[in-house]
Structure 1
Amino acid sequence: MGLHLPKTARRLGVVALLGFSLLMLAGCSQETQDQASRFAMPADSPATIQGQHIADLWKWSWVAALATGIVVWGLIFFVVWRYRRRSDDEIPVQTRYNLPLEIFYTIAPIIMVVVLFQHTVLAQNAVLKLEDNPDHVVKVVGQQWTWTFNYMDEDVADGQVVYSAGTARDIPTLVLVEGQTVEFQLSSPDVIHSFWIPAFLMKMDVVPGRNNRFQVTPNQIGEFKGKCTELCGVYHSRMLFNVEVVSQADFDQYLRDQIAKGYVSDEPLLGGDDATTLTGLSDSEGGSE
């Protein structure tokens, strides 16, 4: 015989379970609650116009998954309750198959996958779309183990290329202009790296012998973090960089300051023989010239 609890005891059990659940939710930190409201997206994202497409795809995918989960869990709990074994120990009616239900269980997932695939392709096309004449072009070089940023075709350099390069001691800074489209042209002289700015919600591999590129339009002034997300060697963890999104006037001043410091070249620095430092080879000296 099964164990039959009085209705009052069952109700008390439900109330206790709900109270415990609320207590656990209340124990979550503010940071955790904020992250849940963003569906685990970075706090400062999307920091580009293109990133909004990725944010929307991520958010609505979660909404669809949660809705599907609620329906499935609801059906499971309904069946468990509705067809539970009764006190008279009679076995519930056994159904070998239900053709309409099985057809639905086959068609519904296919429709869901097709819809998700369609929205994924639309978002991918939006973030990979290239304008013919972007406002700025930055040649990004990922090399073991730092980054070099070459600012191409800027008027203040008199035909020369202004650049910013990192060392074992110094993390390089990438400076961009708010509201203006920049094209990143990615290259590597050694191994595969991956260029990622989390707040932009977009990353792309940096592959030797292949010039990948994508464009973004920053939509908020601020400071952000960037990193390599491809395990590229023993000092992979040092492949960090900072990102500053500034006004046009501040960007022009930044370029002038780089020129005054001597960070200009007749040609873009592409790593390999052009690299000024091989970071990580000498921690005490900050690299080897």
Structure 2
Amino acid sequence: MRHNRRLRWAAVPIAAVLSLVLAGCTQAQLNGFLPGFVEGEAPVTNHTERVSGLWVTSWIVLLIVGIITWGLTIWAVIAYRRRKGQTGLPVQMRYNMPIEIFYTVVPLILVLGFFAFTARDQAIIEERFAADEVDVQVEVIAKQWAWDFNYVKEDVYSPGIQAQLDEEGPAGSIVESELPTLVLPVGANVEIELQSRDVIHSFWVVDFLYKKDMFPGKTNYMSIVPEREGTYAGKCAELCGEYHSLMLFNVEVVSQSEYEQYIDSLRDLGQEGQLSAEYDRNQNLPGTGEPELQEEQAE
């Protein structure tokens, strides 16, 4: 009875401290210090909070498991240490069924839980908009070592070049104004088609908390709703050759009116139409004429 009373008295200050700590957490801390969050503002995309929630929940669970594991390890080291005057080996036990069941079942539950929540969130994030729900359709084409952007519905394009080093700035700095820039309207349903002209690349906008690989001959998709205006850094996240580190771009989320002005500016530059696959380096992919050549040789 006295033992339970002590536990209650110990739990009160612990709970109070935890409440104060959690109440004082900033937006960044509550979201695991991940990018894409600003105090008092909306997340960058409609998926940002979901990714953050999966991440924070996972490390909290693993932190609890770690504390329990280290606590039991330290307790065993102290409780079963060799005492003064003891000699020989301690009593050996071959097995303990309750403990063995515990450390088999608990990790299994954790693995299944992580798998289930990850699969659930990934299915939601990967779900594409219906064709009639898409407001903006952009074809992003990766190439060594830059990016091309086709705005499909508007029938205009924006070609990109590799990041240029700023000779007048600090060592390693780049000319930001010359980076390829993908412009998106805030609040719009955006479908991004991802393709590659040469090798495997990966489309990664850091603040989106999500990236996706780009394979030659295959189209991948991302469906997002940008929810906060701003400029967000992007890069290739798959080692793709000598100048991989300079394969950079920006994403600018702007108002609808600013987006329409940007599209008009591309038309004024004469960049109407779409950049096609004729610029792809891989011209021997299936369906490009090789089977016909084989048939001619057979004849």
The TM-score bracket by the shorter chain reads 0.7 to 0.9
Matched, 1:152 2:145: no
Report Cα offsets for 1:176-200 as digits up to 9, x if no partner.
1111110001112211111110100
Q: Distance in 2 between matches of 1:274 and 1:114?
A: 42
Matches for 1:179-218 after TM superposition, within 5 Å: 179-218=187-226
- SS of equivalent residue, structure 1 residue 149: strand
Q: Which residue of 2 aligns with 1:164?
A: 158
CA drift of 1:104 comes to 0.9
2:275 counterpart (269, 273, 276): 269
CA drift of 1:94 comes to 3.4
Contact 1:51 1:127 in 2 (8 A): no
Q: Which residue of 2 aligns with 1:11?
A: none
Q: Which residue of 2 aligns with 1:41?
A: 34
1:65 counterpart (62, 83, 105): 62
TM-score (ref. length: structure 1): 0.75
Query: What amino acid does structure 1 have at the position aligned with 2:238?
Result: E
Pair 1:38–1:51, CA change in 2 (3 A): closer
Q: Which residue of 2 aligns with 1:143?
A: 143
Query: What amino acid does structure 1 have at the position aligned with 2:45?
Result: T
Q: Distance in 1 between matches of 2:139 and 2:85?
A: 77
Unaligned runs of 5+ in 2: 1-25, 165-177, 282-299
Pair 1:188–1:270, CA change in 2 (3 A): farther
Q: Which residue of 2 aligns with 1:287?
A: none
Q: Distance in 2 between matches of 1:254 and 1:274?
A: 27
Matched, 1:245 2:253: yes
Query: What amino acid does structure 2 have at the position aligned with 1:39?
Result: G
CA drift of 1:51 comes to 2.5
Q: Distance in 1 between matches of 2:36 and 2:63?
A: 22
Report Cα offsets for 1:76-107 as digits up to 9, x if no partner.
11112222223342665433321111111111
Pair 1:270–1:240, CA change in 2 (3 A): farther
Contact 2:27 2:37 in 1 (8 A): no
Q: Which residue of 1 aligns with 2:113?
A: 115
Contact 2:36 2:44 in 1 (8 A): no
Matches for 1:9-48 after TM superposition, within 5 Å: 38-42=31-35, 44=37, 47-48=44-45
Matches for 1:217-256 after TM superposition, within 5 Å: 217-256=225-264
CA drift of 1:214 comes to 1.4
Contact 2:36 2:48 in 1 (8 A): no
Equivalent pairs counted in the alignment come to 235
Query: What amino acid does structure 2 have at the position aligned with 1:50?
Result: H
- SS of equivalent residue, structure 2 residue 264: helix
Query: What amino acid does structure 1 have at the position aligned with 2:276?
Result: L
Contact 2:198 2:280 in 1 (8 A): no
Q: Distance in 1 between matches of 2:34 and 2:208?
A: 11
TM-score (ref. length: structure 2): 0.72
Contact 2:205 2:211 in 1 (8 A): yes
CA drift of 1:43 comes to 5.2
Unaligned runs of 5+ in 1: 1-32, 155-160, 276-289
Q: Which residue of 1 aligns with 2:74?
A: 77
Q: Distance in 2 between matches of 1:230 and 1:95?
A: 50
Percent identity over the alignment is 43
What is the aligned-residue RMSD (CA, Å)? 2.3
Say which is worse superposed, 240-249 or 33-42, in terms of deviation. Answer: 33-42
1:86 counterpart (71, 83, 88): 83
